[in-house]
Amino acid sequence: MSNLSNTYDEILNSAEKLIVSGGYNGFSYADIAAVVGIRKASIHHHFPSKADLARALVARYRANAVTGLAEVESKFSDPLELLKTYAGFWAQCIGDASRPFCVCALLASELPALPPEVAVEVRAYFQHLSGWLTSVIERGDQQGALVISCPARVEAEAFMATVHGAMLSARAYGTPAVFELILEPSLQRLRPR
């Protein structure tokens, strides 16, 4: 019986918003307390240290990604459709500003300054995502549903990098549309003629 609006999750939700906009050092217990409507000390009850909070946050984020990707895979079987859906998810998140950046992409950029237990979670996210993309692309290649020009693993790493770089550009320019602009040719290249 998980409560939809329990304090634990509300803390993680507001921390996620804050972290997405300013990174690990860009939020404080005081910030979260103000948003959630409790006192600073009460956050320590749920998350003894800031590193605990961030670790839990990234772990939840990663778990959601794992189930999310699995769900997409159960809905579509065409590999190109899978990649399009993944890219489309972010295009929408960035477009409507509901989730304008990937938590793990942001944290990866400041990885050397992160508590080790958080860094481990971030790395695991990258590994899972790249693994998923590799398997999709590999299958697409075998089925002839995708045209690849280098090993599936490399194609997958390049695709993931393009997605993250496109996020960065969209944020830098302040124009969400540039994300789709960049992704379009990447997807086009994989389409069989």
Partner DNA sequence: CAAAAACTACCAACTAGTAGGTAAGGAACC
Partner DNA sequence: GGTTCCTTACCTACTAGTTGGTAGTTTTTG
Residues that bind a second copy (CB under 8 A): 21-23, 25-26, 100-101, 104-106, 108-113, 122-123, 126-127, 130, 149-150, 154-155, 157-158, 160-166, 168-169, 171-174, 178, 181-182, 184-186, 188-189
Q: What is the rounded CA–CA span in Å between residue 5 and residue 7?
A: 6
Q: Which residues have CB under 8 Å from 187's CB, separation 6+?
A: 80, 83, 84, 87
- The region of 6-14, 142-150, 165-173, 175-183 touching DNA under the rule CB under 7 A is 6-14
Minimum distance between the CB of residue 38 and a second copy, rounded to whole angstroms?
A: 23
* 38 touches, from a second copy, DNA, none (C-beta below 5 to 8 Å by class): DNA
The single-letter code of the amino acid at 193 is R
Whichever of 6 and 127 has its CB closer to a second copy, that residue is 127
Minimum distance between the CB of residue 116 and a second copy, rounded to whole angstroms?
A: 12
Establish if 48 lies at the interface with DNA (CB under 7 A): yes
Whichever of 42 and 85 has its CB closer to DNA, that residue is 42
Angle between helices 50-75 and 7-22 (to 10 degrees): 90
Alpha-helical segments (H) within the chain: 7-22, 29-36, 40-46, 50-75, 79-95, 103-109, 116-143, 152-173, 177-190
Write out the two tokens for 73.
């895979």
The total of other beta-carbon atoms located within 10 Å of residue 38's CB is: 16
Residue ranges that bind DNA, judged by CB under 7 A: 6-8, 27-31, 37-42, 44-46, 48-51
